[in-house]
Amino acid sequence: YKSHTKSRTEKHASYPSRYFVPDDKIIWDIPFDAYQPTEFTAPVVLDRNTTWADPHDITALTRVFESFEGDVKFNAIGVPLNPIGRTGLKGRGVLGKWGANFAVDGIVTTLNPYSNLLEVLTITRCDTGETALPGGMVDAGETAMGTRNRELEEEVSVKSTDLANHLYEETLASGYVDDPRNTDNAWMETTVIHTHLAYENASEMQVCAGDDASDFKWLPITTESLSSFYANHGLSLLLAVKEMLQSKSSPIDKTITAE
């Protein structure tokens, strides 16, 4: 199944410890009688003035629960269940929405002619200090491209006009994110948009970190760098690069690959 490791083992700085979920006890259909996850929903999520959060009383919610992972399952009292399985924590943690919390991530790549390596524009996340793709939550009524453009502007000062002359652009299959903030009842799902630029355009862009990014970096894509990303962003990046290299409209000579 989908990568579901950080959702079970890592935790946000403010989270209590997760109840240990072994590999063979992830899926809900497998009985796990001893399972007693701690309930945790961050005070900011419970605050009535937090506009981006659902009411804590789930019966007061009228919206339909949507997910890229298919029909949402519910427990006996109508609380949505993580589509991949147990995380060792119930409640919403720091996530505002019950069920799926939708985000969009932007992959911006270029081929560095000096190193002959593909490079990706990454941020350092303020919350965990990890290298990540720039991205963020979808605002009400926003399209995926709208979120991508807004988040790139907020986090790395990249404007959609900087990307207009791309050599290649593709939206990847949307789905579950193995995010350390996930719980049994609230989880991240994302849509990834990949844009590949000519080196002359990428190197001329004025990049600057802001909002929930403390730094940025054009990172060479290597086996090592892919394994150090936040959540499953390294895996998303690998799939995006593969898709680009295999596509009919690939801007890159097939003999050149990421290391």
Return the residues of window 170-189 that contact ligand RP5 according to CB under 6 A. Answer: 177, 179, 188
Does residue 152 interact with ligand RP5 by CB under 6 A?
no
The residue within the footprint of ligand RP5, chosen from 41, 131, 185, 190 (CB under 6 A), is 190
Which segment (85-93, 135-143, 156-164, 216-224) binds ligand RP5 by CB under 6 A? 135-143
Q: What is the enclosing helix (H) or strand (E) of 121?
A: strand 117-125
Burial 177-197 (b: 16+ CB within 10 A, else e): bbbbbbbbbbbbbbbbbbbbb
Q: How far is the CB of 136 from Mg ion (least distance, A)?
A: 3
Q: How far is the CB of 95 from Mg ion (least distance, A)?
A: 13
What distance lies between CA 131 and its chain's CA centroid? 12
Return the residues of window 185-204 that contact Mg ion according to CB under 5 A. Answer: none
String marking each residue 216-255 x if it binds ligand RP5 according to CB under 6 A: ---------------x------------------------
Q: Is the dihedral of CA 50, 90, 28, 75 positive or negative?
A: negative
Token pair listed for 59: 């019966």
Burial 206-227 (b: 16+ CB within 10 A, else e): ebebeebbeebebbbbeeebbe
Return the residues of window 78-107 that contact ligand RP5 according to CB under 6 A. Answer: 103, 105
Give SS3 for 100: strand
Does residue 136 interact with Mg ion by CB under 5 A?
yes
Q: Which residues bind ligand RP5 (CB under 6 A)?
A: 103, 105, 132-133, 135-137, 177, 179, 188, 190, 212, 231
